[in-house]
Structure 1
Amino acid sequence: MDIPRGGYTLFWRMMIGCVLFSGLTIFTGIMVFKEWLKWTHYPIRFNRQNGMVYVFRTNGSVLSVPWKEIFFTQEKEPGPLREWCIRGYVLDKEGETILETFSLGICGAKGLLPGYWEFIRCYMEEDVTSELADIIIVCPPIENRREGFVFGFQNLIYMYSRMEWISLIWMLPMSLVGSIARYIASQTSKIPQWPQVVLDACKSDVDDSVNVSADNNPKDMWRLVFANQKYENWKIRGERHEVALSKINAILAKRYGNQ
């Protein structure tokens, strides 16, 4: 086929357009079938009072299993990024066949997992709930509601240091696109609803002094996101965090020694 000399530019533009359109179509298809039109999130409830774990499955049903009967391990996700995650396995009586499996919802570098796991383990097995509450900085505002666009965007660009301002320039466009896809997923998906039997089992005591939720989130979220809190607020939060960690370490050291 002969293409006029002046037509080469148009030809390549059309080819590039087709490639970009195909890529966008594939990306959209993945989002639709994997993230959109599903559930806004897949929660897990840890009940330290009755020693039970409740896992919201992808099909909307709930797995109820005793904490002590779950075998937790860290392994790599099967996806293209091969990130590390923590999985819980429910085995048969012989301990040889896997009956159920679920993820604790964290993926990333292997070094991030121990602290995340220890937080959950301490909540279920140690008497340090008030100290753990002081470690929590932000709770996602998704209980019985959909995540808003602003929080989703804030969550994607959250910074731990002002040094990360350097990466903001080239990360911002990707984060913006990701936040739009995240918002669409939230708005097109159903809000998970726990069965009444789970709600009854996990009902908080009226006199429970530990109450942490999205209502306790910092009022200066944008400052927190950009690692630019006022010095007084940053100092108070840091000192509370350090005191809580010191108490937890002292309690664990007294119980387990230096192992």
Structure 2
Amino acid sequence: MSDWVGLFINYETVGKQLKPHKTEALNRRQSESETLSPHRAVIQINNTYLELIDRWNYQRGFITVLSLAFILILFGFVYIIVYFGFFNPFPNSGVGEMVLGGIFLIVFLGTILMFLHMLKRECFSFTHYPIRFNRKLKKVYVIQPNKKLLVANWEDFHIGLQQYSRSRWDVRFSLLDDQEKVTETFALPYTGFSQYSPELLQHWEFVRRYMEDATAKTSYDAVTEVFPIHHRKETLKKSFERVMIATTGGDQPINRTQRLIFWATFPFRFIEFIGRILSVKTSKIPKFPDWVEQECTIETNDPYDFEQHPKPKLQSEPIKPFEYMIYTALLLISIVIFLGFIDLLSLAKGENSGLLKALFFWW
């Protein structure tokens, strides 16, 4: 669950001093890469502000499915405890069994509340949690998962590469108090497996150059497409694409590698796709306050406004005839493995779902 850090509870650094062995400071005046990579995280870009998606948007939908599944399972256990504990108790059940049942009931209800909290960060909330960088006023605006607005000056942030799990790093923006303790923090969308990850440094360089250069030209040139979810919710097609590119990331059009991974893991990706649709359709688009929009007024003839000057859409890598056979084979294999896995789980419970047998019988 490390890639969901900061979504359900505060970041691990809040209220603490930054640890030198887990933090590597970045100099906003110093270049870290010759290449700039937006990593398909741009919502809007112009010469006034750059708006990015949140770090959790790439995997959006997974938490929805996970939470709903566990909530249904736990409600089943609660029903069993209540039914056999209060309405139809076993003949030989005594006080000990009642107390044990009550303990399990409290644990299950507490766990349900936890998963409901997780679910509400993806469903019945905001479609995304935008990060906006105003290059003219040198200010940063962030709508956080708790729906509060964080506003601070660009120069006030301590910016560094932060290790948040054994093998994951992000670009972390932190506000520090007089005792060097973190009071507020957020991270850029893209994360890496190392503080030396070229893609991570390229992502930071994209934001750094936007805020530090005289114009937005260099960052604008690096953007090949935007994800315009500030006005409308993403379409089903866009949700499908987002699930597909989440397998490998990158700024390139959908390619052969992404398709191979997607069809090889189709049952899981399809479930994630359904979860993403549910989370987006049940949530509302976040809006910055009017005073923020006034501070971020776009110039009439802004040459770097992607909405006024869009670029040709990225064309996916064409599918060759032999690839259809490969994708079909991967799809069938992934379904067989998935159904076999469910059969093994049912056998472990002393049952036999027979899904795999039913599949071959249908064929």
Class of the TM-score when normalised by the shorter of the 2 chains? 0.5 to 0.7
Equivalent-residue separation in structure 1 for 2:298 and 2:272 (angstroms): 36
- Equivalences, count: 201
Deviations 1:134-157 (A, max 9, x none): 211221130132122210111221
2:158 maps to a residue whose letter is F
Is 1:180 aligned to 2:274, yes or no?
A: yes
Bigger fraction of residues in helix: 1
Give the conservation status (yes or no) of the 8 Å contact 1:45–1:55. Answer: yes
Q: Let me know the Cα RMSD of the aligned residues.
A: 2.8
> How many angstroms apart in 1 are the aligned matches of 2:217 and 2:293?
22
TM-score (norm 2): 0.50
Contact 2:68 2:119 in 1 (8 A): no
Unaligned regions of 5+ residues in structure 2, if any? 1-65, 73-114, 320-363
The alignment status of 1:101 with 2:185, answered yes or no, reads yes
The within-5 A match list for 1:52-91 is 52-77=139-164, 83-91=168-176
The separation in 2 between residues aligned to 1:147 and 1:117, in whole angstroms, is: 26
Residue 136, structure 1, aligned to residue 223, structure 2: yes
Q: Structure 1 stretches of 5 or more lacking a match?
A: 1-21, 230-259
SS for the counterpart of 1:216 is coil
CA distance in 1, matches of 2:69, 2:242: 26
Shift of 1:95: 5.4
| TM-score normalised per structure 1 | 0.68
Residue by residue over 1:85-125, the C-alpha shift from the partner in whole angstroms, topping out at 9 and shown as x without a partner, is 22110112x35122211122223433121000000000000
Structure showing greater radius of gyration is: 2
Structure 2 counterpart of 1:66, one-letter code: N
Per the alignment, residue 155 of structure 1 pairs with 242
1 or 2 for the larger relative contact order (CA 8 Å, sep ≥6)? 2
Match among 318, 334, 344 for residue 228 of structure 1: 318
Q: Residue type of the partner of 1:90?
A: L
Paired residues of 2:174 and 2:186 also in contact (CA < 8 A): yes
- The percentage of counterpart residues that share the same residue type is 28
- CA, structure 1 residues 144+77, in 2 after alignment: closer, same or farther (shift >3 Å)? farther
Are the aligned partners of 2:67 and 2:119 in contact in 1 as well (CA < 8 Å)? no
In structure 2, distance between residues paired with 1:71 and 1:125: 16
Q: How far did 1:24 drift?
A: 6.2
Residues 172, 185 of structure 2: 8 Å contact kept: yes
The separation in 2 between residues aligned to 1:95 and 1:121, in whole angstroms, is 27
CA distance change for structure 1 residues 163 and 179 in 2, over 3 Å: closer, same or farther?
closer
